[in-house]
Each structure stands twice: as C-alpha cells, then as structure tokens.
Amino acid sequence: MRNVKLTIQYDGTDYQGWQIQAGGPTIQGEITKIISMLDQRPVTVHGAGRTDSGVHAEGQVANCSLERDFPLTEFRDAINGNLPRDIRVNDAEFVEDRFHARIWAKQKTYRYQIYTGPVVSPFLYRYVHHVRAPLATDEMREAASRLLGCHDFSAFAGGGGDVSNFVRTLNRLDIDVEPDRILITASANGFLRYMVRTIVGTLIDVGRQRRSAESLSEVLDSRDRGQAGLTAPAAGLTLVRVDY
C-alpha cells in the first residue's frame, strides 16, 4: 500500500460540496469513484476540508492509499481522463503512510471575490458575489482587524455539525481592491462551517455603513450568530491553499 497526496482544483457550482452525501453529486464522491475503479477496490479519499455546496477550490488537498503500483503521472492523467471537466487533479505525490490531509493541515487560506462593477461577465458570475452599492473598504479593513487572533468564533459559525470547540486562530484577513473587484483573503488554523462567508457578509454590512467597524468586536464577544451579518453566497468563495 502506498499513500498518495493529491492537489485538486474544482468549480463547485454544480456539486453538493466536498463531502459524500445523499442528494446530489459531490467532489469527494466523484474522485472516490474514479480512484476505486482504477485501484480495483473500494478506496477512501480523505480531504483537507469540507467545502460547502457551490464553493470552489484552487488548492484542495486529499490523500488515499493505493494497492496497485501506478506511475504518478499516469495515475493523475487516468483520474483526470475519467473525471468531469470541472474537477481536476493537478498533482499526485507519494507521502509517508501516516500523512492525513485533514489532520496534518496547519493552515487553510480562502479567498472571497466581490464584484462591484455594473455588469458581471458571463465568464465570471460563477465565481463572484455581485454587490452594486459602493463599499467603504477602509472601514472594512478596520473591522477585519478586530477579528484577527485567537477567538471563539461562535457568532460567525453556521448551524449543524458536531463541533463543540468554536475557538480558531485567524492569522490573516486582508481586503484588497482591484478595478471592479474586492478580494477578501482569510487564513486560519481552521474554519467553522460558513465562517468565512459570514465574516464576509458582516464586512459587507460595514462597507455599506449599516454597522460600524467597532461593532465587530461586540459581535465577536457576543458569541451569538444572530448578531453577525448574512452569510454571503457560496459562489464567491474559493479554497486557495492548504499549508502543512
């Protein structure tokens, strides 16, 4: 048996997220199906994170154990030759047996794209959240700075799941402005369900001057999901990188 690490990209628009579940196709399900066919046995694929329905990835990481002896380039190409075109394995490498994509992950980085132009291109709409109102980005940056560090992020967590510890360390929350676009980049040792999208939704409220930058400290301390903003749409969110 050889343990293989996979680096994966996907457009999550037409999938029910990463994790295998009933009710529709998933990224994990598609990859598991193909690798099991190639290895001629049931294979378990472990992902670094469970991206939600409609969320994309540029650098998702997964691992699985193989019984057959594949040259890695041929293995990668064989997977891609059978996957839908909106999922691609960019790299495959052998790693030590105890490597686990989720357990070994030290930091994950997500990017959220807000489009601020008047019209969204049909080549872009699947990957951005369109906000037509002008946003006060200086105030958004001030608000973002109040979330950095180690905190209980209960106020920014979605319901469901079996999470009992809501403490995470947010190392980066940058807001960069480009023509017709605002990019929000978040890095942390882990993220709660809907955490990035709820942070973004709350920052948009600040940008629209519906709440003050200072109020983010109060929202954080409240640990009350009802105090934060709406959850921003999934389309704008991409898992950029997983660090080990």
The catalytic residues are 52
State the SS3 of the chain. Answer: CEEEEEEEEECCCCCCCCCCCCCCCCHHHHHHHHHHHHHCCCCCCEECCCCCCCCEEEEEEEEEEECCCCCHHHHHHHHHHHCCCCEEEEEEEEECCCCCCCCCCCEEEEEEEEECCCCCCCCCHHHCEECCCCCCHHHHHHHHHCCCEEEECHHHCCCCCCCCCCEEEEEEEEEEEECCEEEEEEEECCCCCCHHHHHHHHHHHHHCCCCCCCHHHHHHHHCCHHHCCCCCCHHHEEEEEEEC
